[in-house]
Amino acid sequence: MTTRRMTVSQALVEFLARQWTVDRSGDGSEIRERTIPGMFGIFGHGNVAGIGQALKQANVDDPELMPYHQARNEQAMVHQAVGYARMHRRRGTYASAASVGPGATNLLTGAALATTNRLPALLLPSDTFATRVADPVLQQLEQPHDIGLTVNDAFRPVSRFFDRVQRPEQLFSIALSAMRVLTDPAETGAVTIALPEDVQAEALDVPEEFLQPREWRIRRPRPERDALAAALAAIRGAQRPFIVAGGGVLYSEAETQLRAFAEATGIPVGSSQAGGGVLDWDHPQYLGGVGATGTLAANRIAAEADVIIGIGTRYSDFTTASRTAFQHPGATFVNINVASFDAYKHGTQIPVIADARETLSELLDAHGRGAAGDLRVDPSYAERIAREKAEWDATVDAAFAPSGLALPGQPEIIGAVQRASAPEDVIVQAAGSLPGDLHKLWRVRDPLGYHVEYAYSCMGYEIAGGLGAKRGLEAAGDERDVIVMVGDGSYLMLNTELVTAVAEGIKIIVVLIQNHGYASIGHLSETVGSERFGTWYRSYDPEARNFQGEQILPVDLAMNARSYGMDVIEITPGEGAIPDLEAAIAQAKASDRATFIHINSDPLIYAPDGAGWWDVPVPQVSTLESTRRARAEYEEQQAAQKPLLG
Ligand SMILES: Cc1ncc(C[n+]2csc(CCOP(=O)(O)OP(=O)(O)O)c2C)c(N)n1
Ligand SMILES: [Mg+2]
């Protein structure tokens, strides 16, 4: 057996460089791409001489082996990896290397986000000495009841795979297991390999076969015969079927099959946030978002549906409107998901544990043979679908129309971004009032065109995730633009990846919506009887002892972005704000540099109602009249809530 004497870090870096994801695309062609095309790293003690040295050595010996990129915050490294993975339909992601202690724990939020979104990310937090000779080292947590415990144990609950390389020889089994989980469609998420700082620098004899190119073929399990038959029988018997399409449709690259199945049967489609892109907005059977932030069209159809076919959805509370979306008393749920956990959710009667594309192909085949009964929805249902869709489209048109107000509302801002962007451009968002507004209003025109991270809805994801998405597109030779929309609250939480965009000349377009606080939580607070407490950004009122006064803060986020070296366009409040915004986006699109566009907006102008509910518990007792009123309303809404879906 030939071996090479390498450090654990050198071996891990070279191993990761040799991993390939293999899959078949929607058109049948084979895709082969690097599973880990590059690594982010913020160095400190713990990784500067381990992973850091390995990356330097790779950079000298073979710059293509493991390209290294910087970030300004460890959390943002993982966000970038996730944005990349979304654009690559989970076939590739980045590794993120962090130093001991705070560097490592800064990765935690990113890890939870990746796991919640079912998007792969490889985390390499450094750990304190395995030998413990230097304990406690700088930044080491000491727990007297368990000396072996480190801060990295906090990754266990947020990772789909966690292990620690306590001895060099463990690297082989750990690295292989990590790759299996990263590339497994049912298991993927955050994969964490904790690397004690002494072990990182230790040498071992590495067998050549460990470093040979290795392929990870994406599993595409086909449905079991009986499960498929049960699904077909349910679909055949449906009067008012409805499809809920989630992110799994896109990760499986099943859009073509979904469209064909929908068209063959006439079944309407609604999507979750992650499912945005499964059909173009103007497909006659696409009703837009469903659930708490859904459209009136999708929610009305969902409420009456008798057979609900979930495809690649986690059935989150937003998608089910906290289990109020589906009101048909005998509703049957057919749930197609590669993860059994999701397929069985909420009392689903007919779980189909299989790949979305394979299953849709088989359903289509069966339909072609007449086995789906030739299910074709009733003309009256088809007509109803068309009517609901036309009505909602008109509602969106009205919401998009420029108001001429000095401080435009968010819906018209979204309309301006929509008009000024190209159909294939990617919109990136994550938290605040924008996800709900986009879910209702944004007219998706490309499968990859909509990336709203709404599983973890993490403030601060937007800029970093958008940067990662742009990296992902560039890696695939795709030149479309990424447009990040971000609220002032999210921006203030994590904006420093703008520096990374400047440093690497990565072109993203950022549209910052300044409304001086939390429009989203402010509105929510009002509806749940908390009177917008703590949701404005205002000067502290020492007498009232709160932040509810009139005085907005003198922050200048345009100047902030300019200070990072960004090109900045400021939209002057006034009648021309909306046309100016469109012109600014056109200018940003024409530029080959990253652009930051700043626009002020009125937080009290809301998107049209989609009749979705969200369960946010209201206090049972209160001295406030507003809370008591909200509680009464809450109890009324709660009455429609079902304990299970099916
Ligand atoms: C990291 C994190 N902390 C807290 C929240 C809860 N939260 C959701 S939206 C929001 C306010 C967002 O403010 P902004 O970005 O200005 O958007 P706006 O609500 O004004 O549209 C908060 C605090 C969150 N989603 N993520
Ligand atoms: Mg705001």
Fold classified for 401-516+553-600: Rossmann fold (3.40.50)
Cα(346)–Cα(326) distance, integer angstroms = 12
Across the range 55-81, mean pLDDT stands at 98
- Judge whether residue 56 has pLDDT over 90: yes
- Judge whether residue 19 has pLDDT over 60: yes
Fold classified for 225-390: Rossmann fold (3.40.50)
- What confidence score (pLDDT) does residue 463 get? 98
Query: What is the Å distance from ligand 2's center to 22 Cα?
Result: 42
* Range list of β-strands (E), 84-189: 95-98, 121-127, 161-164
Burial (CB < 10 A; 0-12, 13-18, 19+), residue 421, is buried
Q: Give pLDDT tens digits for 338-375.
A: 999 999 998 899 999 999 999 999 999 988 776 555 78
- What confidence score (pLDDT) does residue 127 get? 98
User: In the chain, which segments carry CATH 3.40.50.970?
Assistant: 3-217, 401-516+553-600
Q: Pick the residue with more confidence: 367 or 290? A: 290
Q: Give pLDDT tens digits for 71-129.
A: 999 999 999 999 999 999 999 999 999 999 999 999 999 999 999 999 999 999 999 99
- Here the tokens at position 572 are 């002057």
Cα(593)–Cα(510) distance, integer angstroms = 11
Query: Global pTM?
Result: 0.98
Residue nearest to atom 4 of ligand 1 (CA): 459
Query: What is the Å distance from ligand 1's center to 489 Cα?
Result: 6
Cα(477)–Cα(355) distance, integer angstroms = 27
- What confidence score (pLDDT) does residue 1 get? 82
- Ranking 476-490, 536-550, 577-591 by mean pLDDT, the lowest is 536-550
Q: Which atom of ligand 1 is nearest to the CA of 491?
A: 15
Pocket test for ligand 1, best of 463, 490, 510, 606 (most atoms within 8 A of CB): 490
Query: What is the Å distance from ligand 2's center to 562 Cα?
Result: 20
| Confidence class for position 646, pLDDT limits 50, 70, 90 | low
Nearest Cα to 235, choosing from 77, 363, 412? 363
CB distance 228 to 363 below 8 Å: yes
Cα(243)–Cα(614) distance, integer angstroms = 21
Q: Which atom of ligand 1 is nearest to the CA of 486?
A: 15
- Judge whether residue 323 has pLDDT over 70: yes
The helix (H) or strand (E) run that includes residue 644 is: none
Beta strands 95-98 and 121-127 are: parallel
Query: What is the Å distance from ligand 2's center to 434 Cα?
Result: 9
Q: Which atom of ligand 1 is nearest to the CA of 457?
A: 25
User: In the chain, which segments carry CATH 3.40.50.1220?
Assistant: 225-390
Helix intervals (H) in 266-378: 296-304, 340-343, 356-368
- Here the tokens at position 315 are 């059935």
- What confidence score (pLDDT) does residue 373 get? 55
pLDDT above 70 as % of the chain: 99
Query: What is the Å distance from ligand 1's center to 316 Cα?
Result: 19
Q: Which atom of ligand 1 is nearest to the CA of 458?
A: 26
Query: What is the Å distance from ligand 1's center to 354 Cα?
Result: 35
- What confidence score (pLDDT) does residue 151 get? 98
Class for the domain spanning 3-217: alpha beta
Token pair 């955050």 is found at: 190
Which whole-number Å values give the CA distances from 485 to 52, 166, 418, 450, 575, in the listed order? 34, 43, 12, 12, 21
- Judge whether residue 384 has pLDDT over 70: yes
Residues enclosing ligand 1, CB less than 6 A? 431-434, 457-460, 487-490, 493, 515, 518-521, 603
- What confidence score (pLDDT) does residue 266 get? 96
Q: Give pLDDT tens digits for 217-268.
A: 999 999 999 999 999 999 999 999 999 999 999 999 999 999 999 999 999 9
Across the range 298-314, mean pLDDT stands at 98
The helix (H) or strand (E) run that includes residue 635 is: helix 625-638
- DSSP-assigned beta bridge partners for residue 7: 203
CB distance 109 to 98 below 8 Å: no
| Confidence class for position 462, pLDDT limits 50, 70, 90 | very high
Across the range 377-391, mean pLDDT stands at 97
